[in-house]
Amino acid sequence: MTTTVTLTGTGVPIPSPGRAGPGVLVRCGGIALQFDAGRATVLRLTEAETGLHQLTALFVTHVHSDHVIGLPDVVMGRWIQDHVWKTGPLDIHVPAGEAADFAQRMLEPYAADIALRMEHVQAVPPEARVSTFTCTPGPSLVWSRDGVTVEAVAVHHEPVPDAVAYRVRTPDGTVVISGDTRVCDEVQELSQEADVLVHEACRTTALQTAVAGTPFEKIFSYHADTVALGGLAKRAGVKHLVLTHLIPAPADEAGEAEFVNDVRSGGYQGRISVGRDLMTLAIG
């Protein structure tokens, strides 16, 4: 059995060529787990040869629009295809609070479309099968099947409430997905000896002078500085650090090298990948 990790989106709210909204797909055997569903997630999944009917479950890290704007598309797309695949509703796992409220109400704007489709093709309405869990400062089990488990832990993305990181354990190894967060002890503890850590990356140290006095100064305060992230990855003994949600998005290999240099200056000497959409890594 081989576990794969695919970046279904490495972008941020500001559109960037070639970068869909945030998302990570973890596959192990017949299990396919999607983490977040940013802009164009459905297209990226299709390009990754993973049909919506193949998704086992979807997990949301927090309610920011760039991480959930593709969620109705996933649910509606799966429903529209259901008369072919007969897969039924998708299990969606979200932290209790505002993210759960969004997930439970996200299909309301599509009421007219749903009614029209049910007149012609669909036998039943779409169902957002949402399960909620409470954010905790220590890892808590939120999902388990066939030797694969998913744990969640609260992270620091204040002022956004109820933001979490996830740890996926499979027979092949461990994958941690940070969601959006400052560099924090909770993610460091979650990532101890992880085979892969997919972590958001913001070049705060390099850009702090340029953003001083602008709105971006506040945004940078609740994202993960690349230099500090290098220290976290070193202390946690992470085997492979994958950077995503890239701020600012690198335009070329020289731009990617700047992210790597930042992380190295923080002390991490392990393997680093600067994320590109559809980058896929194998574990085991």
The domain limits of the chain are 3-276
pLDDT on residue 31:
97
pTM of the model: 0.96
pLDDT on residue 208:
83
Active site amino acids: 66
pLDDT on residue 206:
83
pLDDT on residue 56:
97
For residue 35, give every residue at least 6 positions away whose Cβ sits within 8 Å of its Cβ, in sequence order, or none. Answer: 23, 24, 25, 26, 58, 59, 60, 61, 166, 177, 179
| Residue segments in the chain with a per-residue pLDDT below the cut of 70 | 1
Fold (topology level) of 3-276: Metallo-beta-lactamase; Chain A (3.60.15)
pLDDT on residue 146:
96
pLDDT on residue 271:
98
Core vs surface per residue 38-75: b (16+ CB within 10 A) or e? bbbbbebbeebebbbbebbbbbbbbbbebbbbbbbbbb
Burial class of 251 by CB neighbour count within 10 A (0 to 12, 13 to 18, 19+): exposed
Instruction: Report whether 226 contacts 263 (CB < 8 A).
Output: yes
pLDDT on residue 211:
83
Only one residue has tokens 């802009």, namely 39
pLDDT on residue 213:
87
pLDDT on residue 59:
98
Strand partners, 5: 26, 281
Instruction: Report whether 85 contacts 123 (CB < 8 A).
Output: no
In angstroms, the CA 195 to CA 240 distance is: 6
In angstroms, the CA 146 to CA 34 distance is: 17
pLDDT on residue 245:
97
